[in-house]
Amino acid sequence: MSTNEQLENAIELKEVEGLSQGQIVRRRFFRHRGAIMGLFILISITLLAATSIGWGPIPGWWHLAPADRGPIINLRGGPTLQLFGEGGFISLGEHPFGQDELGRDIFARTMKGVQTSLIVMVVVGLVAGLMGIVMGSLSGYFRGRIDTILMRFTDLVITVPVIVIGAVLGKLLGAANPIPLAVALGLVSWTGLARLVRGDFLSLREREFVDAARVAGASHARIIFKHMLPNAIGVIIVNTTLLMSSAILLETALAYLGFGITLPNISLGQMINEYQGAFNTRPWLFWFPGMFIILIALSVNFIGDGLRDAFDPRQRRIPSVRKMKRAEARAARAAAAEAARS
């Protein structure tokens, strides 16, 4: 091992000395600038969507609803949002994101679409995460015939394109409610996570603590959920997060093709599909739904990257030059003191 690697290891051990595993993970996560930025953006978007037009018991402060129609007050219904406007730093105006040809407020419709997309993202993550954990853990722990049956079923699901299954299910369920569509997408999106969990469990089942629990008389359920699953939580959380980001893009693609969420429900992809004929004349109808799709997907990806770096001890943060010099000086002083004592 080189001197620089020894110094990096010493710095890493010094920084995490006396901390629990959870504290180490939190420390590494909050040092990831991209993850913190993504978390801030995602929380801000969620709060804006929840408080603007209202969400469940939360009342909204915006005066228009997604279905409200009114006279077109700006040229072709253009956005009234202005930076450094008369009302202060940001002037929203009557319709900050503009209006469509029916006079509906695009800001209210976009916020409704964000709510729908967030619901789909969370439900897909929960359903696919649960399916992936169950299938992967049972397959990796029991092996043998159970492993063969579950993995062949997983291969069967993989062979059918998700976009095709989603299109069929979206046509049947998308118009009724976004939640059934999200559950259906989650039931076909778990295969990658199941394979990763299976690989982790195949490694964990050979560890000494699993043998000790088995000798102590622990049941299979206790070994899986109490001893093995907490050690695979890093893989599960990271890949579930990235799966949620893919769910946003999948729902958007289905809605754009006309097989996902349809009217009277609103999603960001459905808005782009609805206004695709006005791309050349009123491009702001695409700017804002597309911007929120990109922001949500990138934010979740950045959070997933931060969680991966936090849970994986091999993802080391490179120390700065200043820290390296301080570590070298401490090592030199320690060597000199040892030489003096000798």
| Judgement on whether residues 173 and 219 belong to the same structural domain of the protein | yes
Domain around 12 = 1-31+317-342
Q: Is residue 275 part of a domain?
A: yes
Q: For 146-150, 189-193, 218-222, 276-280, which range has the lowest pLDDT when averaged over its residues?
A: 276-280
Q: Is residue 87 part of a domain?
A: no
Q: How many domains does the chain have?
A: 2
pLDDT tens digit string along 95-109?
A: 788 888 888 888 889
Q: Is residue 89 part of a domain?
A: no
| Judgement on whether residues 50 and 19 belong to the same structural domain of the protein | no
Say which residues have a Cβ less than 8 Å from residue 49's Cβ, sequence separation at least 6. 55, 111, 114, 115, 118
Amino acid 161: pLDDT: 79
| Judgement on whether residues 162 and 274 belong to the same structural domain of the protein | yes
Q: Is residue 223 part of a domain?
A: yes
Q: Which of 56-60, 76-80, 192-196 has the highest mean pLDDT?
A: 192-196
| Judgement on whether residues 115 and 263 belong to the same structural domain of the protein | yes
Sign, CA torsion 263/269/272/276 = negative
pLDDT band at 84 (very low <50, low <70, confident <90, very high): low
CATH number for the domain spanning 137: value is: 1.10.3720.10
Q: For 184-188, 199-203, 319-323, which range has the lowest pLDDT when averaged over its residues?
A: 319-323
| Judgement on whether residues 231 and 280 belong to the same structural domain of the protein | yes
pLDDT tens digit string along 216-236?
A: 888 888 888 888 888 888 888
Residue 205's nearest CA partner among 143, 135, 150 is 143
Amino acid 7: pLDDT: 45
Residue 15's nearest CA partner among 305, 320, 335, 329 is 320
| Judgement on whether residues 276 and 328 belong to the same structural domain of the protein | no
pLDDT band at 149 (very low <50, low <70, confident <90, very high): very high
| Judgement on whether residues 27 and 48 belong to the same structural domain of the protein | no
Please give the average per-residue pLDDT across 232-242, as a whole number.
85
Amino acid 215: pLDDT: 87
Give the residues across from 105 on adjacent strands. Answer: 99
Amino acid 185: pLDDT: 85
Give the residues across from 91 on adjacent strands. Answer: 82
Q: Is residue 80 part of a domain?
A: no
Q: Is residue 65 part of a domain?
A: yes
| Judgement on whether residues 218 and 336 belong to the same structural domain of the protein | no
Amino acid 329: pLDDT: 65
Q: For 163-177, 223-237, 300-314, which range has the lowest pLDDT when averaged over its residues?
A: 163-177
Residue 11 Cα distances to 21, 30, 111, 314, 326, angstroms: 17, 18, 46, 14, 10
What's the mean per-residue pLDDT of the chain?
A: 80
Q: For 118-122, 137-141, 213-217, 283-287, which range has the lowest pLDDT when averaged over its residues?
A: 283-287
Question: Which parts of 20-105 fold into alpha helices (H)?
Answer: 21-30, 33-52
**What are the phi and psi torsion angles at 83 (to 5°)?**
-90, 140
Q: Look at residue 275 and tell me whether its pLDDT is greater than 60.
A: yes
Q: Is residue 311 part of a domain?
A: no
Higher pLDDT, 245 or 327: 245
Q: What span, in angstroms and rounded, lies between the C-alpha atoms of 48 and 273?
A: 23
Please give the average per-residue pLDDT across 163-171, as a whole number.
75
Q: Is residue 96 part of a domain?
A: no
| Judgement on whether residues 117 and 210 belong to the same structural domain of the protein | yes
| Judgement on whether residues 138 and 263 belong to the same structural domain of the protein | yes
8 A C-beta contact, residue 147 and residue 296:
no
Amino acid 11: pLDDT: 45
pLDDT band at 72 (very low <50, low <70, confident <90, very high): confident
| Judgement on whether residues 210 and 178 belong to the same structural domain of the protein | yes
| Judgement on whether residues 168 and 51 belong to the same structural domain of the protein | yes
Q: Look at residue 283 and tell me whether its pLDDT is greater than 50.
A: yes
8 A C-beta contact, residue 183 and residue 127:
yes
Amino acid 126: pLDDT: 92
Amino acid 312: pLDDT: 67
Q: What span, in angstroms and rounded, lies between the C-alpha atoms of 319 and 322?
A: 8
Amino acid at 269: G
Our measurement of the distance from residue 306's CA atom to the centroid of its chain's CA atoms, rounded to an integer in Å, reads: 11
- pTM > 0.85: yes or no: no
Sign, CA torsion 254/257/262/263 = positive
Exposed e or buried b per residue across 178-188, where buried means at least 16 C-beta atoms within 10 angstroms of its C-beta: beebbbbbbeb
Q: What span, in angstroms and rounded, lies between the C-alpha atoms of 243 and 125?
A: 6
Look-up of token digits 């949002």: 81
